[in-house]
Amino acid sequence: MKVQQNEPQPSADPSRDDEDAGDQEIRAYYKIRFREQGQEHTAETTLADLVAGERVMVRTEQGGEPAMVMNRCFGVEAAWCKRKAPLRILRRANAEELEKYRLLPLQEQDAFRLCRAKVEQLGLSMHLVRVERFFNGSKIIFYFTAESRVDFRELVKALVQEFRTRVEMRQIGVRHETQMTGGLGACGRELCCTSFLVKFDSVSIKMAKTQDLPLNPAKISGLCNRLLCCLTYEYDVYRVMKKGMPRVGRTIQFEGKKYLVTRQIPLLGKVAAVSGGEERLFTEEEWQAADPLPKVSSRKGQGKKGGGSARQRSIDIWGMQDHNEDE
C-alpha cells in the first residue's frame, strides 16, 4: 500500500487526526522531544518523510501536544512489525500551533518565577524544580522537592487565581530532580535519565562488587548522589560470566599444587590465584580442570561435642554454594 505523504488538514480536535489509520499501512518510527532539553520518546506515524527539526503534533493522554523530531528509527518500519510505540505522530504542526509552541517555554518560565516568589512569600520549605504547562492550557504541573510533607494549599489557591486553570503540585525525589535538570555524567555523555531512561531500577552496592568496581562513593555515584543507574546495565552479564568460576578466597588444586583464588577476570574468562607468594593466571580450561578443595570450617562457636551446625559441616566449595554473599 502506498505510504501516506500528504499533509492532512488539521481538524477541530488534533488528538483524533490519523487515529483511524489502518494498521496495514507501513509505519515509521521517530525519536521526538516535547521540550528542547526534555527526554526523548519513540513515536510511530504513517508519515515517512519527516526530517530532524520538524515540529509535529503528537497524540498523548492530555490531547494533542507539539513535539520536535530528533531523528528517524530506521529498520523498524516494515508492515510485519506488530509492536506499537507508546506515542503517535498525528501530523505536522501548522503556523498557529508553531507560534503557540514557541511561546510555551516562556509561559513556563513566567509561571516558575511567580511560583517561586509565592513560595518565599508563604515561607514554605520546598525547592521548585520545574514547571510544565499543557499545550491546550488545561493544566499546569509544578514539580518540587522537599525534605518532609508540605502544606501547599494556600499556594495552590494563589496559583489558581493567577492562571485560571488546574494546578497540580507534584513532589519528586532527587533522581527525578536530576532527570529534569539534566547534565553530563562521568562518561562525558548526557545523563541516561535525561536522555532515555523511563523508570529507575533498583541499584545496590552488590552490583558494583560483582563488576569489580572500586567501592569509592565518588566514582560510583551520579550527580544525584545516588548509585549510578548504569551499574544495572552489565550486572546480569557479569553474573552469568562469573557463574561456575572459582570464588575469591577459595582453594583449588591444579597439577598437585594448591592455589588460593585472589580475583576473577570474567571478561577474559580467567582466574588469578597465588601459591607460595607467586601469582598465576588460570585460563578457563585450566580452572575448569582444577579440583576444588573443601572450605576449612572454623571451630569457633561449635558445641562441646564439636558437632556444629549443618551449614558449618557442609562442604562449601565454589561449585556448590553460591548464595553466601547475599546474606
State the average pLDDT over residues 181-203: 87
What integer pLDDT is reported at residue 326 of this predicted model? 38
How far is residue 128 from each of residues 80, 113, 120, 181, 246, measured CA to CA in Å?
46, 10, 11, 11, 51
What integer pLDDT is reported at residue 235 of this predicted model? 92
Grid cell digits, residue 247: 570464588
What integer pLDDT is reported at residue 18 of this predicted model? 47
Q: How far apart are CA 201 and CA 232, in angstroms?
A: 8
Q: Which one, of 67, 74, 60, 75, lies nearest residue 19 by Cα?
A: 60
3-state DSSP: the chain helix, strand, coil percent, rounded to 5? 25, 25, 45
Q: Which alpha helices (H) appear in the chain, and where do they start and end?
A: 95-122, 153-163, 174-181, 192-195, 205-210, 217-220, 235-242, 284-289, 310-313
What integer pLDDT is reported at residue 315 of this predicted model? 37
What confidence category does residue 148 fall into, taking pLDDT thresholds of 50, 70 and 90?
confident
Helices 95-122 and 153-163: crossing angle in degrees, nearest 10, is 140
Grid cell digits, residue 72: 528517524
How far is residue 24 from each of residues 1, 3, 20, 48, 77, measured CA to CA in Å?
8, 10, 11, 15, 11
State the average pLDDT over residues 166-170: 92
Predicted confidence (pLDDT) per residue in 98-112, tens digit: 899 899 989 999 999
**Do residues 119 and 128 touch, judged by C-beta distance below 8 A?**
yes
What confidence category does residue 82 fall into, taking pLDDT thresholds of 50, 70 and 90?
low
In the chain, the percentage of residues whose pLDDT exceeds 70 is 79
pTM above 0.75, yes or no: no
Q: Across the chain, which distance is largest between two alpha carbons, in Å?
A: 90
Residue 273: strand pairing partners = 261, 280
Question: Residues spanned by CATH 3.30.300 within the chain?
Answer: 100-172
What integer pLDDT is reported at residue 144 of this predicted model? 94
Pick the CATH number of 244-295 from 2.30.30, 2.40.128, 1.10.3470, 3.30.420: 2.30.30
Q: How far apart are CA 20 and CA 8, in angstroms?
A: 13
Predicted confidence (pLDDT) per residue in 255-304, tens digit: 888 899 998 888 888 989 998 888 888 988 888 888 888 876 655 544 44
Q: How far apart are CA 209 and CA 228, in angstroms?
A: 13
Pairing relationship of beta strands 87-92 and 40-45 according to DSSP bridges: parallel
Grid cell digits, residue 48: 515517512
What integer pLDDT is reported at residue 1 of this predicted model? 38
Pairing relationship of beta strands 127-133 and 251-254 according to DSSP bridges: unpaired
Predicted confidence (pLDDT) per residue in 199-240, tens digit: 888 999 999 999 988 888 888 999 998 999 999 999 999 999
Q: How far apart are CA 279 and CA 201, in angstroms?
A: 39
Radius of gyration (C-alpha) of the chain in whole angstroms:
29
Question: Residue 161 has what DSSP assignment?
Answer: H
Total Cβ atoms within 10 A of residue 287: 23
> Is the CATH number of domain 100-172 3.30.300?
yes
Predicted confidence (pLDDT) per residue in 23-61, tens digit: 456 678 888 988 877 788 888 888 888 888 899 999 988
State the average pLDDT over residues 117-131: 92
What integer pLDDT is reported at residue 75 of this predicted model? 61
What integer pLDDT is reported at residue 214 of this predicted model? 87
Secondary structure class of 204 (helix, strand, coil) = coil
Residue 274: strand pairing partners = 260, 279
Of the listed ranges 59-68, 145-154, 318-327, the least confidently predicted one is 318-327
Pairing relationship of beta strands 166-171 and 139-145 according to DSSP bridges: parallel
Question: Residues spanned by CATH 2.30.30 within the chain?
Answer: 244-295
Q: How far apart are CA 102 and CA 307, in angstroms?
A: 78
Q: How far apart are CA 254 and CA 231, in angstroms?
A: 35
Tell me the pLDDT of the chain averaged across its residues: 80
Q: How far apart are CA 100 and CA 177, in angstroms?
A: 27
**Do residues 192 and 230 touch, judged by C-beta distance below 8 A?**
yes
